[in-house]
Copies of this chain bind each other. A is one copy, B any other.
């Protein structure tokens, strides 16, 4: 019987809750075919880095390893379209690898192997019969975060009371379905889908590169699955960093567009208080830049504004037809946010990026983020209009145990607004005023950006910290939410840098730096105390609001210099 690696316990509920929880978790494990169950020896004594286990465990064929490791989304689509591979072959390979990934990292909350293989079979038959694909994603399995509605599949907002089955696809999934994508998993997300890691009432997702670390959140299941190569392409959501943090901590691409870039029609079926003045978006996680560009081209090519009133009618050009040229590209280099010093590998990655770009002949200028402390404060005030009373109420209704990771995050957010208190529903005028403050701040950021030479893009650390141990990274140590606050598009791109064993001995300069805020000191302590080896380091590239075309084009221009896949 399949089991899951557990590193640290999660908070326990009462006996009935625990029985229920166990049943849910077991229900997913029971769907894993016997022949894909990992030996107890691995589960009980796993290495820190579990990414190689799918290759080494012997449960996958050479063909399955090839399919899951050596293709990206574009290549898989082409291979199926040219009949080099069938959808059943591809779907089967990813289902099997996802099953292995789940036992190692707890990345799934549902596993639809049978349904996916049936869908793949029908697509293969269509191809057989007509000689044609149903669409550009014909037969390719795509992984989807639990909160994104897929018809007939599990849906929840990270609370046990919100677990249900979607009665329809959200519009984005409908697009993918029409293009021929296969849906085979729902991936794990944290309580209330609001956390920098991915611990829910069900369990805790682990970082495949170092299972002592969290994979980031809230799209942590997605990112862990991708890092395990149990998916070639995934869909997450982001209202504060939820695509980008996990993409970064697991070493994949992750894109958060501005509001209106990808359609969100049908994503939510009830109001989400934290989102009243910060737009949550749906965004992709993937292996290659061309995949990110390809999927954006496909999605925007459907003219989503004809279906989703929030989607903007801006034509997508991305890697093609760009007006940007390397010789005139202006790159701003944001070394840090003056809040928390980047840990040594983050600094190393930023230095590497800088020297690569310099060597590549790019124009780079230093860039300062406009009043980062204020950004944190405003963001915090915006996401607490009800003091999280709605979420608290949902947890109580489901008899859920408290989640200390969520509690710490919420406490920090609430602390940013003097008028806010836990479980206290604010007055409407607080929403009105905070939104006004947001808009004033957005103007100030834009003015400052232009005043600093109007870079086409800036490059910033994703977070001063590398992937972290669970429940201990302070929010101020991430700066992802700043770009939700100002609604700028931001992409996470991998670097070749990984945390090396024992590297900490070389960290004297870091330790000796004067700490700007408490979280800075705490982040240093984390670096001292924990073993981060194997953690990948990504950087974030950001453009101005609604400038996704410029963002992707700029990354395209830097692709070679930054050795981007």
Given known contacts A276-B435, A436-B270, A443-B308, A547 and B313 CB-to-CB distance under 8 angstroms? yes
A276:B546 contact, CB within 8 angstroms: no
Partner of A446, one of B309, B313, B447, B545: B309
Residues of chain B lying within 8 A (CB to CB) of residue A427:
386, 425-428
Q: Which residue from chain B places its CB closest to the CB of A545 in the assembled complex?
A: B309
Contact B385 A432 (CB under 8 A): yes
Say yes or no for A454: interface residue by CB 8 A criterion. Answer: yes
Also in contact, A431 and B385, with CB within 8 A (given A436-B271, A443-B265): yes
Interface residues of A in 406-430 (CB under 8 A from B): 425-430
The tally of residues in A whose CB lies under 8 Å from a CB in B reads 44
With A265-B443, A427-B426, A443-B308 known as contacts, the answer to whether A433 contacts B271 (CB < 8 A) is: yes
Tell me the bound Cα distance from A435 to B276 in angstroms: 8
Give Cα distance in the complex from A322 to B495, angstroms.
Answer: 44
Which of these, B271, B390, B432, B546, contacts A386 with CB under 8 Å? B432
Q: Is A17 an interface residue (CB 8 A)?
A: no
Partner of A430, one of B268, B272, B428, B450: B428
Q: Does A294 count as interface, using CB distance less than 8 angstroms? A: no
Which residues of B are found within 8 Å of A450, using beta-carbon distances?
306-307
B273 touches A432 (CB 8 A): yes
**B428–A310 touching, CB < 8 Å:** no
B residues less than 8 Å from A115 (CB atoms): none
CB distance from A440 to the nearest CB of B (A): 9
A161 sits at the interface (CB 8 A): no
- Is A352 positioned at the interface, with any CB of B under 8 Å from its CB? no
| Cβ–Cβ < 8 Å partners of A112 in chain B | none
Specify which chain B residues have a CB less than 8 angstroms from the CB of A439 in the assembled complex. Answer: 309-310
A121 at the interface (CB under 8 A from B): no
Copy tally for this chain in the complex stands at 2
A299 part of interface (Cβ distance < 8 Å): no
A442 within 8 A of B: yes
> In this assembly, does A445 line the interface, its C-beta being within 8 Å of a C-beta of chain B?
yes
B residues less than 8 Å from A90 (CB atoms)? none
Shortest Cβ distance from A277 into B: residue: B276
In the assembled complex, A486 has its CB within 8 A of some CB on chain B:
yes
Q: Is the CB of B425 within 8 A of A546?
A: no
Cα of A439 to Cα of B545 in the assembled complex, Å: 21
CB-contacts of A373-388 with B (<8 A): 385-386
- Nearest CB on B from A444, distance (A): 9
Other-chain contact of A273, B312, B314, B428 (Cβ < 8 Å) = B428
CA–CA, A426 and B430, complex, Å: 10
- Asked if B312 contacts A546 (CB within 8 A), the reply is yes
A547 to B303, CA, bound (A): 13
Query: Could you give 27 example pairs across A and B, Cβ below 8 Å?
Result: A265-B443, A271-B432, A271-B433, A271-B436, A272-B432, A276-B428, A276-B431, A305-B544, A306-B446, A306-B454, A306-B544, A307-B446, A309-B439, A309-B445, A309-B446, A309-B545, A313-B314, A385-B431, A386-B428, A386-B429, A386-B432, A390-B429, A425-B429, A426-B427, A426-B428, A427-B427, A428-B431
A contact residues vs B (CB 8 Å cutoff):
265, 268, 270-273, 276, 305-310, 312-314, 385-386, 390, 425-433, 435-436, 439, 442-443, 445-447, 450, 454, 486-487, 544-547
The 4 residue pairs across chains A and B that have the minimum distance between CB atoms: A271-B436, A385-B428, A309-B442, A426-B428
A273-B432, A309-B487, A385-B428 given; name 14 further pairs at CB < 8 Å: A268-B436, A273-B428, A273-B429, A276-B432, A276-B435, A305-B545, A306-B446, A307-B446, A307-B447, A309-B439, A309-B442, A313-B546, A385-B432, A428-B428
